Structure formats: C-alpha cells, structure tokens
Amino acid sequence: MNWIGFDYGKRFIGVAIGNTVTKIASPIEGISARRGVPDWEMIDRLVKEWQPAGFIVGFPTQLDGSEQKIAQHVRLFRKNLKNRYQLPCVLVCEQLSSHAARGQLPPNRSKSDIDAAAATIILQQWFDEDMPDESLMD
C-alpha cells in the first residue's frame, strides 16, 4: 500500500511517496503554500495519482521533546488531510529532518528539494520503525 509523507511548512510542503511492501520512501516534489494554506489542488492530484492508504505527517519537536511553534499548524494540516480524503493520517515525531535533508543533498539545492528530502526522511523513519504503535493514528 502506498503512503504519502509530508514535511509541513507555511511556505513549502515537502512530499514523499512510499510503499509498505518495499518500505522505501522517495521524494516526489514540494508543494507551495500561502500563509500556511497548501495548494490543495496539487495534493488532490497526488492523491488521485498515487491512491494512498494514508498519510504520514512530520510533527516538529525540539530536542528536549517540546513542541515547536509551528505544531498547531501541523495539527490543522493533519486534520484537514484526514477530513478531506477520509484516510488515516499519522503524526510522526520528527526532529531536525530538514537539517538532515540539507546534509544529504548537494549545496545550493532549492527549498522545495530540501523539503521533499525531509518528507522522505520522515516517511522512511515510519517504515523503519515498522509503523510504530506510538504514532498518533486515528
């Protein structure tokens, strides 16, 4: 089954696709957002094309485990995904995914490439942890 992973940001949202059989995540693209509102038409096209079983959304936390300021926006994005597509939407705690993504890419990569790589890291983390029980799924 396909799952789509997201690295939410107020201006850009990284997107990755992965499959529960192969447990391999790959970046697809970045989606623009305006003032935190994603390009829903683009997400609609991705959902139609990939027909996911659900979504994985990176939940940003500080190194001490506390929530980052953007956390409330991530929760709203998750709620909107779930309501719009009627599919499971899992929050996965992620720390420093964008930093790790920058380290994996050549210098001077676009913000869109970095965000898509971060989404790949988030989705791959979920696969590698064998879709952990502690994920906030409903």
Q: What angle do CA 104, 106, 109 make, to 5 degrees?
A: 105
Q: Taking the complete model, does pTM exceed 0.75, yes or no?
A: yes
Q: Are residues 12 and 31 in contact, defined by beta-carbon separation less than 8 angstroms?
A: yes
Q: Which amino acid is at 112?
A: S
Residue 103's pLDDT is 53
CATH topology of domain 2-60+68-128: Nucleotidyltransferase; domain 5 (3.30.420)
Q: Are 55 and 6 in contact (CB under 8 A)?
A: yes
Average pLDDT of the segment spanning 104-131: 75
105, pLDDT greater than 60:
no
Question: Pairing relation of β-strands 12-19 and 2-7?
Answer: antiparallel
d(C-alpha 31, C-alpha 104), whole Å: 20
Domain regions of the chain by residue span = 2-60+68-128
pLDDT at residue 32 is higher than 80:
yes
Q: What is the pLDDT of residue 64?
A: 73
